[in-house]
Amino acid sequence: MLEPVRFVRGNTLALQVNRPMSANTLRLLTSLFLSVVLPIALVHAQSPASPKPGRIEISEPLTRALRHQLLVLPYYSVFDTIEFSISGDTVTLTGQVLRPTLKAHAEAAVRSLEGVGRVVNNIEVLPHSATDDELRREVYRAIFEDTELAVYAIQAVPPIHIIVKNGAVTLVGKVDKEPDVALTAKEAGKVQGVTSVRNLLTVRKFDYPAEVEK
């Protein structure tokens, strides 16, 4: 009986036979395929793809929880801004606030969330200044008494934040329309005593439902 010639191609065991196979030889080859080749193929097919090195998955529920915790902080106002970034289980807080207690409360609120292992608190407490306090009131009135921008003042914490430090104004937040970005900066710049205006406002993105074909 002629023995089959065996050779390996890649990871697959291949067989070459020069003459027609007998029934016994066919059964032997079938058994070999079912016991060796097929299990290896199934293992490769079922193995999960390896994660890309260096990629950190950010939990969307954690992101939403962080936003909520910061927005409901006591004394968080239009004159404060707090932002965060996530790297693994570390949350880094940045921004500028009027009160030292707000900085401490923000860190405590974030630290209490499940999934947060470490908090880096880089929030800046703005220096106390009677002149800056007066500018905050005047810039607030200039912006939110404008007929086009008054709609943003009806929320508990308006989406436009006014940060004043040593006469310099920084605008942070989101507006609904592109023209409102420039208009807000224009109104803030009209206030006497304002030395500069840094405009970091962006336009809010809305998710509109797809149109249904009639």
* Within-domain flag for 212: no
Q: What is the pLDDT of residues 111-120, one digit of tens each?
A: 999 999 999 9
Q: Determine the pLDDT at residue 197.
A: 98
Q: Determine the pLDDT at residue 205.
A: 84
Give the span between the Cα atoms of 192 and 141, in whole angstroms: 13
Is 24 exposed, middle or buried, given 0-12, 13-18 or 19+ CB atoms closer than 10 A?
Answer: exposed
Same domain, 163 and 199: yes
Give the span between the Cα atoms of 58 and 76, in whole angstroms: 25
Same domain, 42 and 65: no
- Decide if pLDDT at 213 tops 90: no
Q: Which of 6-15, 90-99, 107-116 has the lowest mean pLDDT?
A: 6-15
Q: Determine the pLDDT at residue 181.
A: 97
The SS3 assignment for 203 reads strand
Same domain, 38 and 72: no
* DSSP annotation string for 44-82: HHHSPPPPPTT--PPPHHHHHHHHHHHHT-TT--TT-EE
Q: What is the pLDDT of residues 27-77, one digit of tens each?
A: 655 565 556 544 555 444 454 444 444 434 457 889 999 999 999 999 999
- Decide if pLDDT at 131 tops 50: yes
Q: Determine the pLDDT at residue 60.
A: 85
Same domain, 140 and 192: yes
* Confidence class for position 207, pLDDT limits 50, 70, 90: low
> And the tokens for 144?
């939110």
Percent of the residues in the chain that have a pLDDT greater than 90, as a whole number: 63
Same domain, 82 and 143: no
Same domain, 111 and 65: yes
* Within-domain flag for 185: yes
* Within-domain flag for 67: yes
Give the span between the Cα atoms of 6 and 18, in whole angstroms: 12
Considering only residues 207 and 70, tell me which one the structure prediction assigns the higher pLDDT: 70
Same domain, 94 and 139: no
Is 172 exposed, middle or buried, given 0-12, 13-18 or 19+ CB atoms closer than 10 A?
Answer: buried
Domain boundary among 100, 125, 150: 125
* Within-domain flag for 213: no
Same domain, 86 and 71: yes
Residue with tokens 């007998």: 22
* Within-domain flag for 36: yes
Domain boundary among 77, 95, 125: 125
* Within-domain flag for 53: no
Same domain, 120 and 137: no
Same domain, 159 and 106: no
> And the tokens for 142?
């200039």
> And the tokens for 62?
């954690």
**Between β-strands 5-9 and 12-16, what pairing exists: parallel, antiparallel or unpaired?**
antiparallel
The domain that contains 169 carries what CATH number?
3.30.1340
* Within-domain flag for 55: no
Q: Determine the pLDDT at residue 212.
A: 43
The domain that contains 72 carries what CATH number?
3.30.300.130
- Decide if pLDDT at 202 tops 90: yes
- Residue 180: domain span: 130-203
Same domain, 160 and 194: yes
Q: What is the count of structural domains for the chain?
A: 3
| 55: Cβ contacts below 8 Å, ≥ 6 apart | none
* Within-domain flag for 51: no
| 125: Cβ contacts below 8 Å, ≥ 6 apart | 96, 97, 98, 99, 100, 103
